[in-house]
Structure 1
Amino acid sequence: MNGQKWFSIRLIPSESNQAAGNWLGKWYAYDRILDNDRFHVQVEAPTEITSIRSEGTPQEGQDYRSSGNFKIDNIPPYATKLKWTITDGPTDAHFDVMHDVSFGIDETIFSDLHNGSITDIKKSEDLYIAKPSNTGGKSFTVHVTAVP
């Protein structure tokens, strides 16, 4: 990755490159795109929905909860999934996401998430990180991103 984090560079095997070129050529033919025809491709970048700091162990007096509450909302219309990324602390941590139910039993919304997990979109308020493991007791930050 370059120092600006604008792009990454990786060698592509010739077979993969040729297959992509063949696919692109077929798409041009299918949609009747001619040389020098102008067209527009809109690329939707991932959008951060929230970030939450979690302790590496359940909070004092709690069985599972290791963070404050957060919510998942304001999902862009193009988004189809959520990506969970740990940005500091133990990046090999695992955790659940639970829904805080007042005067009831909290519900597990997502189980065994880790750095890079992809989940379905479930909008909700009063969520929290729970049951952290593989942390060595160290806290970590989780970023939730809406992806196409």
Structure 2
Amino acid sequence: MNKYFMLSVTTLTFTSQLLMGMPNALAQRPSILVSSVRSEGRPRIGQKHRSSGNFTTSSVPNGYRYFCWRVTSPGVANINNIRFKIKRDKSVWTDPTEFRNIGHGSKTAMKRKRSLYIADPTGAYDRYGNPESFVVYVYACN
């Protein structure tokens, strides 16, 4: 095959995908960072569940349907072992759980909320078994 033929086929395929409304990597919106928060590897002193400060997911532009969750920590032995809940801070009532079993690579429905926090983390240990802090990044994605 010559280069012109390959370019024509690629262009034709891309154009037909756009016309038919099929997803294409070039036509999708990129993920955008919505929020980030640092969490302890266990609940804070004096707290039953809370391991982080509050963060918000309320300022997400239109056109996104999901949250993609990323976790980083230089000290954690295996980042994929970290799991946690997302709770919403309520001043009087019990704090409701918004998301469960979240970890690195999780994808959830989008919920625009304020006063969220990390709760009940598990698996955030260094190689000696000591609790280690981690950072959670929340991205709007499709």
Q: Pick from 130, 137, 143: which aligns with 2:137?
A: 143
Q: Pick from 13, 19, 28: which aligns with 2:16?
A: 28
Measure the CA separation in 1 of the matches of 2:134 and 2:31: 21
Measure the CA separation in 2 of the matches of 1:53 and 1:29: 41
TM-fit CA distance, 1:29: 9.0
The one-letter code matched in structure 2 to 1:59 is R
Counterpart residue number, 2:61: 76
Question: Which 5+ residue runs of structure 2 have no aligned equivalent?
Answer: 1-8, 21-25, 126-130
Counterpart residue number, 1:127: 116
Counterpart residue number, 2:42: 57
Question: Which 5+ residue runs of structure 1 have no aligned equivalent?
Answer: 1-20, 33-40
Counterpart residue number, 1:111: 100
Can you list the C-alpha shifts for 1:33-76, whole angstroms capped at 9, x where unaligned? xxxxxxxx644211000000000000001110000011112212
TM-fit CA distance, 1:77: 1.4
Measure the CA separation in 1 of the matches of 2:132 and 2:50: 15
Q: Which deviates more from structure 2 when the two are superposed, residues 56-65 or residues 87-96? A: 87-96
Q: Which deviates more from structure 2 when the two are superposed, residues 135-144 or residues 86-95? A: 86-95
Q: Which deviates more from structure 2 when the two are superposed, residues 88-97 or residues 61-70? A: 88-97
Measure the CA separation in 2 of the matches of 1:128 and 1:142: 10
SS at match of 2:33: strand
**RMSD value, Cα:** 2.5
TM-fit CA distance, 1:87: 2.0
Q: Pick from 90, 103, 121: which aligns with 1:101?
A: 90
Measure the CA separation in 2 of the matches of 1:105 and 1:76: 30
Measure the CA separation in 1 of the matches of 2:107 and 2:119: 17
Can you list the C-alpha shifts for 1:96-147, whole angstroms capped at 9, x where unaligned? 0001110110100000101010000111111100000011210000000000
TM-score (norm 1): 0.72
Q: Pick from 35, 42, 46: which aligns with 2:31?
A: 46
Q: Pick from 75, 83, 86: which aligns with 2:71?
A: 86
